[in-house]
Each structure stands twice: as C-alpha cells, then as structure tokens.
Amino acid sequence: MDSRLNHSTKVIRGAGVSDGVAVAKVLVLERERIVIRHRIIPREKVPEEVARFREAHQRAARSLTEIKEAMIGASSREPAFIIDAHLMMLEDDLLIEGVIELIESEMINAEWAIRKKVTELMAVFSRLSDEYLRERGKDVEQVAERVVRELVGKTEDNVNLGDGPVIVVARELTPAETAHMALENVVGFATEIGSPTSHAAIVAKSLRIPAVVGLKNLTREAGQGDVAVIDGHSGLIILNPSPETIDEYESRRKWLSELRLVLKRYKDLPAETEDGRRIKLAANLEILEELAFLPDSGAEGVGLYRTEFIYLDHKGLPSEEEQIENYERLIKAVHPHGATIRTLDIGGDKFKSDLTVTNEQNPAMGLRSIRLCLNRPSLFKTQLRAILRASASGKTRVMFPMISGHEEFLQARELLAESMDELDKEGRAFDRDLEVGLMIEVPSAAIIAPQLAKVADFFSIGTNDLIQYTLAIDRMNEHVTYLYEPLHPAVLRIIKSVVDAGHEAGIPVTMCGAMAADSASLPVLVGLGLDELSMPMGSMLMLKKILRGINGREARTLVEELFQYNLAREIRNRVKREIRTRWAEAYALELEAFEIETAAG
Ligand code: PEP
Ligand code: MG
C-alpha cells in the first residue's frame, strides 16, 4: 500500500476514456429513480391519459431541442448530434405508439406504460451480444425517463454545481447531461457504467474533459463534497487523497497546461526531422465536432476520417445527400489541406443492427468492412457517390479499409468507376482525379504490396488491425494485450516491406493506426521511411516537437541495426537507449510528463 494514502483514501480503477487530470470536489449525482404507481384508468379517461402522455412527450422533446440549441449557441464544438440521436429515439414510433397502445389496451397510467414498454425494449437490447448496441439500449431508457420526469413534474437538467470546479460522479451520465454540464464548471467525469464507445465518453473526449468509466461502487464510496483526483490517462479516481498526492496531481495538472502552451509554439512549424526530412502529420477524426480543435492541432489535413460513426449515429442509413453535407463540411474545414475519407469500416468491434451480421463467432474475421460493402453494392455506392460529389468542394482522397487481395481492391475501384459514370450522365460535378488508396491491415495485402502498389495511388498502414492479424492478438481482448507489440520484429519487417513496395512504385505510404502516435516508435517510423503519420489531434504537437529533434539519417542507421534483433524486448531497449542518449533533448518534455505520472500513480 502506498504510504502516501491516508486511511480514508480510496483508489478506484476503471477505464480512462478521456485524457487529462483534475483535482476538485466531488459532486455525486444521485439521479434517484422516480417511484411511480400503477394506476388503472377508467375507460372514458383513456383518451385524456393518451393526451397527457403526448403533451409530456412534446415537453421532453422541446427541452432536448433547447439543450441542443444552447450547446450550439454557447460553442460550436459540442457534439449536438448526440442530442439529435436522442431526439430521434424520442420520436421513434416504436416507443410512442408502443406506449399509447399499452395505455389503451391495458388502461394503465402513462408513467407505468412507459416503464413497461422500456422494459420490453431493454430486454431486446440486452440480448444483443455487442457492447455498442447494448449502450444504445440505455439511451432508450434515458430518453423515456425524460418523459416520465415530465409527467411527474421532476425535470432536472440543470444540476446545481455550486461555485467551484467539480468532478461529477454518477452511476451513469446521459449525453445530454454530459454536454450540458460541460458548459459549467465541471473538470472531470467519473461513472460506474459506460465504455469507451458510450456516447457520454465520446462527448467528454471531444470536449477534452478527463473522464473515467467503469468505476465499481463509485457512487457508494464517494461522499458529496469529498476531494478527489481524476486521472483520465491512467483510468483512476482517488477519493480523499493525501495532501502529498493532491500536490503531485496539482503540479501535474499545472504542468500539463503549461505544456500545452509550450507545445502550441510548434503548431505552425514544419513537421520535419532535424536534418530536414518532411513527414506530413495529419489528423484522425471520428466526428465532425472534433474539427473545432483542428486549427490549433498542427495537423496538415485529415489522414483518416472514420465514416462509420455517421452510420452508427444514424437511425436507419444515412442518405447520399446527408453524407455529402457531412463530407463537404470536413473538406471545406481542412482546406487547403486534403481529407482522406475512409469508406465504411463497420463490423469487428463496431456494430449496427441493420447492417452487420450479429451472430458471428469471430467478428474480427467476419463479414466486416470492405467485405460487407462489396456484399451490399447499393449501400456502398451511396457512400461512393457522396464522397465523389463532395470531392467537388476540395481536395479529397478515398481509401478502402481491410483489403486482403487484389480482387477486393479492383472490385471497389470498379464500383467507384461506375459511380463516376453515373454522375457524369447526371451532369454532376466531382474530382475526376481524386486519389484512391487502400489500407494495409491484413498480412496478405502486405505480402502482395508490390502488386497492389501498381494499382493504388497510396497506401495507409492500419497498425491496429495489421498487428492484430499478424500477431494473432484480438485487439479487444484484455487477456492478450501484453502481447500487442508494435516493435515486434515481424511487425517491423512487414511495415518495411510495405513502405519499400510503395516507394518502389512511387506512391506515398502513410500510417494511421495507434503506432503512428507512439512516441517511442517514432524514430523507427522515421527510419523506415513513412511519408505521413495520421493520429489523434491531442498527440500531434508533442510528436511534432520530438520529430524535429530526431536526425533522419541516424534513425535510418538505427533501423538497420534493429533488424539484427530477434526479441521485441531487445528492439524496444535499443530504441529507448538511443532516445535517452542521442535524442534526450527532443524527448525531454515527454520524459518529464512520464516521470510526473509515475511519481503520482
Ligand atoms: C487500424 O486498424 O489501424 C485503423 C486505423 O483502423 P481502425 O482502428 O478504425 O480499425
Ligand atoms: Mg482497422
């Protein structure tokens, strides 16, 4: 036990879903479940009860719309789209008509009918095997609970937060609550329930507020007004920390905000090595709301737009027009840099009931991604047409994920050519020269990279999947996380062969998996000759700073040497040694951040 912890100190570990640290008083949000009674409604009063429900339903929709508008008005960066998703659920006939039917057929009060309907719907959701859909089940419950609160006159979006900064502690938070409180003095979120894919987590991340989820017994352990430390990086909350721990975290928090200022100086400096080799740094993007951070991120455009989030947050499928609007917003925002739009990569760990097969034994190797798109050409062509039409508004690249062989890439290109022909006939504008690339995520594609390079305009290495398939490690399985090693000799060899194949054919090679943002791998990636690295915006300025201190020639020599080692450990130690001796200055800030973290953790 850490000697710095006093007797009432409690450390609870969960999953960090949004980086950063904060020290503040705890505000426990005990959203007590409203107790409702079952009432039988006399037959002649049933229409009145239905009207009562409809009115409460309208009030709930109005209040959600107001929250959404307040968010848009207060700042352009809040993900108002999530409130839209809740509004859509609220408007869903399955819910509205289902409740009315229950009121009428069972002659029961509206509150009871809502709870009954939601219990039915939740049972359906809870039987689904994937986490993302189960989360959506909770959204339905939260939305319906709004109507119950309207019916009993207990609405409470405006939580009284007091004066000072607070860390909000709750069993779970609705996206609306998260977004609303973010406008106030909330410096952290900690919840018992939730996952990195839950919408509240996405909101926190996009608002850059530290957040930790999956904290067992949190609301029981945390007392109202207790002082707490939240560490979004390590995924923990410390309740009643000792003065020493508070001091450490306070200085870390200050240090991190100073660090942000220091790093800002690198925003407009070129991303190049000490000896002048340019490596383009671009951003990975999941939702358009993140674009608000783009101007300060130092990114030269977007290197990976994960379009599946448009589908995941849409009731039904997004139309061509809706997608055009989305892509155009992106393309215009990144101008004069380009945007690389990745076509739908759904399946694996991202599910949507009306799109993906839900009973696969091994979804990571199932009908996912490009396979699913080629299986459903009309779905795919809607997206291709939308990307093409949006390309008329600025520099756009399109890239296909999970390509495992020549056939898939050629089929995808053929559908793209068909879409171009259609648009030609319709007289619609698009960029005829838009570049078409593919992601190298499957070892078979890496092996035939020299052949693929002849038919592609660029490669983008998706290391998250490439490592998963090369080392046979399920990226979602925490039991084998320890085996997930980007500096494994097999991974280095496979990356080298892809980069060499690309360069041999004269096409650029990008990396857009998490390895691209791993500072310890950076000298290796420089030495291997990657042309572009695409990463989450939050990591970019630190990476740029380090890159500017690394000598490209020395990095190449280092990589040559690394190929002599058989053990990943030897490779990692060798790179570390180089970092500490040769590039200590480039890494100084990062090492300092790391040391503060170990001292406090
Ligand atoms: C990857 O696999 O590295 C990648 C960037 O794609 P995703 O993480 O979306 O699967
Ligand atoms: Mg991938």
- The ligand placed nearest to the CA atom of residue 304 is 1
Atom of ligand 1 nearest to the CA of 514: 3
Cα–Cα dist 531/80, whole Å: 35
Q: Look at residue 516 in the predicted model and tell me its pLDDT.
A: 94
pLDDT at 396: 98
Does residue 306 have its Cβ closer than 6 Å to ligand 1?
yes
Q: Which two tokens stand for residue 306?
A: 């994960």
Ranking 28-32, 219-223, 353-357, 510-514 by mean pLDDT, the lowest is 28-32
Centroid of ligand 2 to alpha carbon of 14 (angstroms)? 25
> Does the pLDDT at position 124 exceed 80?
yes
pLDDT of residue 475: 77
Distance CA 212, CA 480 (A): 22
**Ligand number with the minimum distance to the CA of 513:** 1
How many angstroms separate the alpha carbon of residue 392 from the centre of ligand 1?
Answer: 27
Ligand 1 atom 7 nearest Cα: 464
Q: Which pLDDT value is given to residue 76?
A: 38
The pLDDT of residue 78: 40
Atom of ligand 1 nearest to the CA of 465: 2
Give me the mean pLDDT over the 147-160 stretch.
70
Q: What is the distance in A from the centroid of ligand 1 to the CA of 393?
A: 26
pLDDT for the residue 196:
59
Return the ligand 1 atom nearest residue 461 CA. Answer: 3
Give mean pLDDT, residues 516-538: 94
512 CB within 6 A, ligand 1: yes
The share of the chain scoring above pLDDT 90, in percent, equals: 56
Q: How far does the centroid of ligand 2 lie from the alpha carbon of residue 345, in Å?
A: 8
Q: How far apart are CA 357 and CA 372, in angstroms?
A: 9
For ligand 1, say whether the CB of 368 is within 6 Å of any of its atoms.
no
Among 18-27, 443-452, 493-502, where is mean pLDDT lowest? 18-27
Span 570-585, average pLDDT: 94
Task: Measure the CA angle with vertex 111, ends 53 and 312; round to 5°.
Answer: 80
Which of 464, 473, 511, 521 to mutate for ligand 1's pocket (most ligand atoms within 8 Å of CB)? 464
**Does the pLDDT value for residue 162 go beyond 80?**
no
Q: Which residues pair with 532 in a beta bridge?
A: 280, 510
Average pLDDT of 560-577?
96
**DSSP label of 457:** S
Strand partners, 167: 26, 188
- CA 497 to ligand 2 center in whole angstroms: 19
Cβ count near 354 (within 10 Å): 9
pLDDT for 4: 44
Q: Give pLDDT tens digits for 543-553.
A: 999 999 999 99
Structural contact between residues 340 and 304, judged by C-beta atoms closer than 8 angstroms: yes
C-alpha 210/C-alpha 572 separation (Å) is 30
Q: Specify the long-range contacts of residues 447-453, CB closer than 8 Å, at least 24 apart.
A: 447/497, 448/405, 448/406, 449/497, 449/498, 449/501, 449/502, 450/501, 450/504, 450/505, 451/406, 452/403, 452/406, 452/409, 452/501, 453/501, 453/502, 453/504, 453/505, 453/507
Percent of the chain topping pLDDT 70 = 85
The pLDDT confidence band at residue 340, using thresholds 50, 70 and 90, is: very high
pLDDT at 378 over 90: yes
pLDDT at 65: 81
Write out pLDDT tens, residues 393-422: 999 999 999 999 999 999 999 999 999 999
Q: What is the pLDDT of residue 597?
A: 47
> In the predicted model, what is the mean pLDDT of residues 248-261?
87
Q: Is the pLDDT of residue 598 over 90?
A: no
pLDDT at 181: 64
Whole-number pLDDT of residue 2: 43
Query: Which residues make Cβ contacts (< 8 Å) with residue 229, sequence separation at least 6?
Result: 21, 22, 23, 237, 238, 241, 245, 246, 249
Q: What is the pLDDT of residues 126-142, one digit of tens each?
A: 777 666 667 677 778 87
Question: Which of 279, 329, 191, 292 has the alpha carbon at shortest distance from 534?
Answer: 279
Q: Which of 34-38, 213-217, 312-316, 346-350 has the highest mean pLDDT?
A: 213-217
Band of pLDDT at residue 199, cut at 50, 70 and 90: low
Name the residue with the closest Cα to ligand 1, atom 1. Answer: 462
Instruction: Give the pLDDT confidence of 456-491 residue by residue, as tens digits.
Output: 999 999 998 999 999 998 876 667 778 889 999 999
